[in-house]
Structure 1
Amino acid sequence: MKKINIGGVPEHFNLAWYLGLKNGEFKDENINLRWKDYFGGTGAMCKGLRDGDIDMAVILTEGIIKDIIAGNKSKIVQVFVKTPLIWGIHVAQNSNYKTIEDIKGTKAAISRYGSGSHLMAYINAQNNGWNLEKDLDFEVIKNLDGAVEGLTEGKADYFMWEKFTTKPLVDNGVFRRIDNCPSPWPCFVVAVREEFLESNKDDVKTILNIVNNTTSEFKDIPSIDRMIANRYEQELEDVQEWLTLTEWSQENISKATINKVQDELLALNIIPEKWKYEDLVEKL
């Protein structure tokens, strides 16, 4: 049985992978798929791919494109979630900040440089007409627990993270959400290390086929809303709202999307140049 390591965030988006593992669907195809939770998000997964700790990752689109251009020898093989990620913009409950304008020029908590929380801070700044050099400042906090500590203790002023993941922290009075910032493209893709992909294409195809069968019928799974609410400690009505807003994909990323992401990252000086579609994407 072939052992293949995959990483992803421990969030509701990735339940389809858990269900496939729980039901033994990968083992039925002689694949020992080992899932690793990355609490540090995209930046940590990029490092995992670079270091060979994982072979595959379910990762933010903008984060992996930036890191491939920066030297990560991986390729995008499919879009996993085709709808945008809704980033909540959070401050500490007792903060004086009430609006987006209030946090202009203050310090953003980010999991690490090159992470989604870092890149989306630039998107949010651009959306609001801020000066990208003067109005952005960062404090690295590693993960969600670090953000709670950072904002509560005043080491940072605001924090951007997926709205529904952080909703329990808003509900219990740790954070206050002052606005939302949707990503301008499909949020999650599947990326694979090039070296691994070269000799394991059929296995990658098999893995994708299994998860795609689950995601294509995901919303029809009986009591899926209750399962998500229980597993990820979320309110049922929040999960139901999230399900109405989220669509999975079984297709590869388009040239138009790759261009759009690169145009945005280039305009923000996050990448030094644009790459060809074929240098970022592998068609299986």
Structure 2
Amino acid sequence: MVLRVGWHREHFLSPLLQLHAAKGGFELVECPGGTGDMQAKLKAGEIDVCIALTDSLIAGIANGQTSYKLIGRYISTPLRWAVITGKDSKYKEFNDLKGTKLGISRLGSGSQVMASVMSLQQGWGPEDQPSFEVKGSFKPLRDSVNSGETSVFLWEWFTTKPYADSGEVRFIGSVYTPWPCWMLAASPSADEQEVKHFLAALGEYTTSFDSKDKRETENVAYVAKTFNQQESDVKEWLSTVAWYHDLAKVESKVVMDTLQTLEKAGVVKAPTTGWNVADFVNESVSTIV
């Protein structure tokens, strides 16, 4: 059976697209709703593997999801989330967002988790916490801030920047993840040998894409064309991001640090026995380091 790999249309996934175009051997399943969409597809048995946001994957397992486990690491740097409002909205700064309704793609998605982290970083009390409105994908989220149905939503900075540049939406600011931002996860029913082969092949492409020579030439043109980005924005983004090369490892510190932040943000609650990293990782595929 061909491995089905869930992905979201973002420039971080360029090495995955290049691997698929060059060698094939697996099926790409686009998930427009981001990580929350991938989690739903894993649960429904519609995909076998995904490359998704670290925080949402870890939060899902911590909150009882059994449809996947972590199998590897992907991006070694933080993610910059834009805080996005409508072009003519009344919201100008973070404190204007206290107690408002925020748009999210899905429950448990990165857009929801990072909204909770934003609240933690801003020091908002219980009375200031925002509520959430599920909107599905990127377009309904943009529509919701312009209609006033929601105050803001959070989405990756460079994916959203063309819409801010065109005047469709407006940025209030940004929030950075306190952890390396992308990991890999797989269904327990996925063929482990196929998963190992996939990780090894993808690692070759992250290594190539991460090289200094490729960053300065080929990467810029590829990302600009594939994701309809300005070359100046691509160059800025490439200066902030790095990929792991040996993917079939899960760093214990990343899992624990993420869990501790998510616990402070009220996204997860530690069991009485404490967290055990092994509960989060398929050790038949990946090594805990």
Aligned to 2:171: 177
Deviation at 1:270, TM superposition (A): 1.6
Pick from 227, 242, 251: which aligns with 1:247? 242
Look up the SS of the partner of 1:217 in the other structure: helix
Q: Which residues of 2 match residues 214-253 of structure 1 at below 5 A?
A: 214-219=205-210, 220-221=213-214, 222-249=217-244, 250-251=246-247, 252-253=249-250
Deviation at 1:5, TM superposition (A): 0.4
Whole-Å separation in 2 of the counterparts to 1:238 and 1:72: 38
Whole-Å separation in 2 of the counterparts to 1:66 and 1:263: 11
Contact 1:41–1:111 (Cα < 8 Å) also in 2: yes
Deviation at 1:64, TM superposition (A): 1.0
Residue identity matched to 2:278: E
Residue identity matched to 1:21: H
Residue identity matched to 1:282: N
Look up the SS of the partner of 2:250 in the other structure: coil
Pick from 96, 117, 134: which aligns with 1:140? 134
Aligned to 1:271: 268
Contact 1:125–1:132 (Cα < 8 Å) also in 2: no
**1:141-191 deviation per Cα after TM superposition (whole angstroms, max 9, x unaligned):** 111101111011111011100000000110000111111101110111010
Look up the SS of the partner of 1:195 in the other structure: coil
**1:102-148 deviation per Cα after TM superposition (whole angstroms, max 9, x unaligned):** 22221111001100000100000010011245421111111110111
Look up the SS of the partner of 2:269 in the other structure: coil
Aligned to 2:162: 168
Whole-Å separation in 1 of the counterparts to 2:254 and 2:18: 29
Whole-Å separation in 2 of the counterparts to 1:62 and 1:148: 23
Aligned to 2:58: 65
Whole-Å separation in 1 of the counterparts to 2:193 and 2:35: 26
Aligned to 1:262: 259
Deviation at 1:72, TM superposition (A): 2.6
Q: Which residues of 2 match residues 1-284 of structure 1 at below 5 A?
A: 2-24=1-23, 26=24, 32-69=25-62, 70-132=64-126, 134-196=128-190, 200-219=191-210, 220-221=213-214, 222-249=217-244, 250-251=246-247, 252-273=249-270, 274-283=274-283, 284=285
Residue identity matched to 1:40: G
Whole-Å separation in 2 of the counterparts to 1:102 and 1:267: 22
Whole-Å separation in 2 of the counterparts to 1:110 and 1:183: 17
Moved more, 148-157 or 219-228: 219-228
Whole-Å separation in 1 of the counterparts to 2:44 and 2:126: 31
For these two proteins, the number of residue pairs brought into alignment is: 274
Moved more, 254-263 or 130-139: 130-139
Contact 1:7–1:36 (Cα < 8 Å) also in 2: yes
Aligned to 1:29: none
Whole-Å separation in 2 of the counterparts to 1:138 and 1:193: 28
**4+ long deviations beyond 6 Å:** none
Whole-Å separation in 2 of the counterparts to 1:276 and 1:233: 42
Residue identity matched to 2:55: E
Deviation at 1:76, TM superposition (A): 0.8
**Structure 2, gaps ≥5 residues long:** none
Whole-Å separation in 2 of the counterparts to 1:18 and 1:45: 17
> Aligned-residue CA RMSD in angstroms?
1.4
Whole-Å separation in 1 of the counterparts to 2:194 and 2:127: 45
Whole-Å separation in 2 of the counterparts to 1:247 and 1:132: 36
**1:11-59 deviation per Cα after TM superposition (whole angstroms, max 9, x unaligned):** 11111111111112x4xxxxx3001111101111111111110000101
Identity of aligned residues (%): 30
Look up the SS of the partner of 2:162 in the other structure: helix
